[in-house]
Amino acid sequence: MLHPTFATPDLTTFCRLDELGLVAVGQLIEPDRATIECRVVEDDPWCRKCGVEGVPRDTVTRRLAHEPFGHRPTTLLVRVRRYRCGHCRRTWRQDMTRAAAPRAKISRGGLEWALRGIVIDHLTVTRVAAGLGVSWSAANAAVLAEGKRRLIDDPARFDGVGLTP
Ligand SMILES: [Zn+2]
């Protein structure tokens, strides 16, 4: 007999935000969309320039399209801490490259969902864009870039590919 072990319900793991270095701290569910408020898990207090510990200064927000849940486009509203170095005056933001590439509008989880949708489920770009809640051109550009990155950056991409006569 199977005895599954249930854990306490947890939005962070359910939405795979832990894999992005984020933790869910709030949710806003609307009929046609959902927003998850997140924080970056890792502190990032050390000055990039001189290595001195910086002082948290304020917080900025960044919006990322994430994979949809229950056919609702789901947006991550990430609160990112900004630090200032008291020694050299440099300012910086918490590193969140695990969650998304710099300047990207779509989370790495959202990108993976989009790529799987197109390659495995044969969804159209229109459908993927609607799922992410972004424009067709934004979805198309992101999927092309991610597909290309994975093909080119993965030297093992042809492993196991056999030529059958
Ligand atoms: Zn510094």
79 Cα to the center of ligand 1, angstroms = 23
153 Cα to the center of ligand 1, angstroms = 34
Q: What is the mean pLDDT of residues 140-165?
A: 74
User: Please, where are the H alpha helices in the chain?
Assistant: 11-14, 108-119, 125-132, 136-153
Question: Which pLDDT does position 156 carry in this prediction?
Answer: 66
The amino acid that residue 12 corresponds to is: T
Residue 9 binned pLDDT confidence (cut-offs 50, 70, 90) = very high
Distances (CA, A) of 112 to 43, 54, 70, 126, 147: 26, 34, 17, 16, 10
Q: Name the pairing type of β-strands 33-40 and 72-84.
A: parallel
Q: What is the mean pLDDT of residues 24-43?
A: 96
* 3-class DSSP assignment, residue 7: coil
CB of 53 closer than 8 Å to CB of 46? yes
- Alpha-carbon distance of 52 to 54, in angstroms, equals 6
90 Cα to the center of ligand 1, angstroms = 6
Q: Check whether 15 has a pLDDT greater than 60.
A: yes
Q: Kindly state the tokens that stand for 92.
A: 């910086």
Determine the angle formed by the axes of helices 136-153 and 125-132, rounding to 10 degrees. 100
148 Cα to the center of ligand 1, angstroms = 37
Residue 4 binned pLDDT confidence (cut-offs 50, 70, 90) = confident
Q: Which of 131, 92, 127 is nearest to 109 (CA)?
A: 131
Task: Quote the mean pLDDT of the chain.
Answer: 91
85 Cα to the center of ligand 1, angstroms = 5
Question: Which pLDDT does position 2 carry in this prediction?
Answer: 74
Q: What is the mean pLDDT of residues 60-85?
A: 96
80 Cα to the center of ligand 1, angstroms = 19
Instruction: Identify the helix (H) or strand (E) that includes residue 93.
Output: strand 91-93
Rounded to two decimals, the pTM is 0.86
Cβ neighbours around 22 below 10 Å, total: 28
The amino acid that residue 44 corresponds to is: D
Bridge partners of residue 28, in order along the sequence = 35
Residue 92 binned pLDDT confidence (cut-offs 50, 70, 90) = very high
Q: What is the mean pLDDT of residues 91-114?
A: 95
Q: Check whether 12 has a pLDDT greater than 90.
A: yes
Which one is predicted more confidently, 71 or 17? 17
